[in-house]
Amino acid sequence: MKAAVLVFPGSNCDRDLAVAFRAAGFETEMIWHKDATLPKGVDIVGVPGGFSYGDYLRCGAIAAQSPIMRAVAGHAAAGGYVLGICNGFQVLCETRLLPGALMRNAGLKFVCRQQKLRVETQNSRFTAGYAQGTEIAIPIAHHDGNYMADAATLAQLAAEDRIAFRYVGNPNGATDDIAGVLSANRRVLGLMPHPERAMETAHGSSDGAVMFHSLAQALVEA
Amino acid sequence: MKATVTVMLKSGVLDPQGEAVKSALGALGFSGVSGVRQGKVIELDLAQGTTEADVTAMCEKLLANTVIESYRVEMQA
C-alpha cells in the first residue's frame, strides 16, 4: 500500500497528512510539485492543505497547473485514488478532477474550529467505515470553503450520491451545506475539513482516522 | 502590445466581498449604492501578433475559473 503526498510551495498540512497515511499502514512518499511523474505503484495521492503559491490568482489555481498535477490527472483517469483536503480540494476543483469551485467564505472571515459533519454516503472507500448519516467531528481551517456549483451539477451530484459530507451548521455559506464531494468513479474525494487533524483522542477527535483506516482496508482487500 | 482582462464573478453568484464593501459605503454615509461587485483586472504585456483568441485561451485555462467567473478581454495596440 503506497501513498504519495504532494508538496507545493506553501503547503502546510503535507507532513500531517503523511503521518495520517503512515498511521494507517501506508508506505508514504513526499512528492515535489515539479516532479512530472508519481512513484511506481502509488495507490493514493494526497493533495494537502495549505496555501499553495500564496493563493495567488485563486486558491489552488497555480498549483493546478504544476507538472505533478498532470500526473495526478493520469493516475485518477486510470482509476487511482486521490484525496484532496482543504487547499487540496481547491486544487482538485481547479484541475476539474472534481466539479464546482470554492469561493470566499460568506462571512468573509477565516474559520478555524471543530466542525460537525454528517456522513452522507457510505458508498466510497473513503467513507465506508462510517455509518451512513452519522455525525462526526473534524476540524476546519479555511478562508475559501464556500462550495459553489451550478444547479445542473448540484442535481447530478445529488442524483449520483456523490456528496460525501455535509456540514451540520454551515460555517462558510457552502451551497447545500456541502463539505466534500466524490468523483463519478467515487475514487477522488475532495473535502474542506481536515481528517488528518482528527487522528487520535489527543487531537480532540479521532473521527478522521476512520477514513484512513477504511482506505487502507480497501486497498488490502483489492 | 497589451491586453486587459477583467474577471468578475458571474451574475447570480453571491459576492460576499462586494456586499461587505456596499455595507461599508452605507456606514460611511454614501447613500444610494444599491449594489457592489468586486472583481480583478489583469494587464498583460504581449508579443506582437498575439491574438484575442490567444488571450481568450489564457482566460479559459488559467486567468478565470469559468465555474464561477466571467471575463472580458480588451486588446490594445
For chain A, 222 residues long, give each residue's pLDDT as a single digit of tens.
Answer: 999 999 999 999 999 999 999 999 999 999 999 999 999 999 999 999 999 999 999 999 999 999 999 999 999 999 999 999 999 999 999 999 999 999 999 999 999 999 999 999 999 999 999 999 999 999 999 999 999 999 999 999 999 999 999 999 999 999 999 999 999 999 999 999 999 999 999 999 999 999 999 999 988 876
CA A177/CA A146 separation, integer angstroms: 9
The pLDDT of residue A131: 95
The pLDDT of residue A25: 96
Note the pTM of the prediction, 2 decimals.
0.94
At B27 the three-state DSSP class reads helix
Q: Which residues in chain A (31-60) have CB-CB distances under 8 A to chain B? A: 57-58
- The domain in which residue B29 lies consists of 2-76
B21/chain A closest Cα distance in angstroms: 11
Would you call A92 an interface residue with chain B, using a CB distance cutoff of 8 Å? no
Q: Please give the helix or strand (H or E) that residue A180 lies within, else none.
A: strand A178-182
Tell me which amino acid residue B4 is: T
Bridge partners (DSSP) of residue A144 are none
At A215 the three-state DSSP class reads helix
Give the residue from chain A lying closest to B69, CA to CA: A101
The model's pLDDT over B32-53, given as tens digits with 9 standing for 90+, comes to 999 999 999 999 999 999 999 9
Alpha-carbon dihedral A85, A91, B16, A149, rounded to 10 degrees: -90
- Residue B40 is part of a domain; what is its CATH number? 3.30.1280.10
Q: A85 near A48, Cβ under 8 Å? A: yes
Q: Which residues in chain A (181-220) have CB-CB distances under 8 A to chain B? A: none
Residue B62: burial class (beta carbons within 10 Å; 0-12, 13-18, 19+): middle
The pLDDT of residue B14: 86
Count the domains in chain B: 1
Residues of B in contact with A105 (CB under 8 A): 16
* Secondary structure E strands in chain B: 2-9, 40-45, 69-76
CA A169/CA A117 separation, integer angstroms: 8
The pLDDT of residue A35: 96
Q: A48 near A6, Cβ under 8 Å? A: yes
Bridge partners (DSSP) of residue A180 are A165, A191
CA A84/CA A196 separation, integer angstroms: 11
The grid coordinates of residue B31 equal 447613500
The answer to whether the CB atoms of B62 and A148 lie below 8 A apart is: no
The pLDDT of residue A41: 95
The pLDDT of residue B77: 80
Give the residue from chain A lying closest to B40, CA to CA: A57
The grid coordinates of residue A102 equal 470554492
Which DSSP state fits A11? B
The pLDDT of residue A116: 98
* Secondary structure E strands in A39-134: 44-47, 81-85, 101-103, 111-119
Cell 474550529, located at residue: A113
**B12 falls in which pLDDT band (50, 70, 90)?**
confident
The pLDDT of residue A220: 84
Cell 504532494, located at residue: A6
Check pLDDT > 80 for residue B67.
Answer: yes
Q: Which residues in chain A (129-148) have CB-CB distances under 8 A to chain B? A: 146, 148
Which DSSP state fits A200? B
CA A25/CA A111 separation, integer angstroms: 31
The grid coordinates of residue B41 equal 483586472
Task: Please state whether B66 falls in left (phi above 0), alpha (psi between -120 and 50) or beta.
Answer: alpha
Q: A161 near A183, Cβ under 8 Å? A: no
Q: Please, what are the domains in chain A?
A: 2-221 (3.40.50.880)
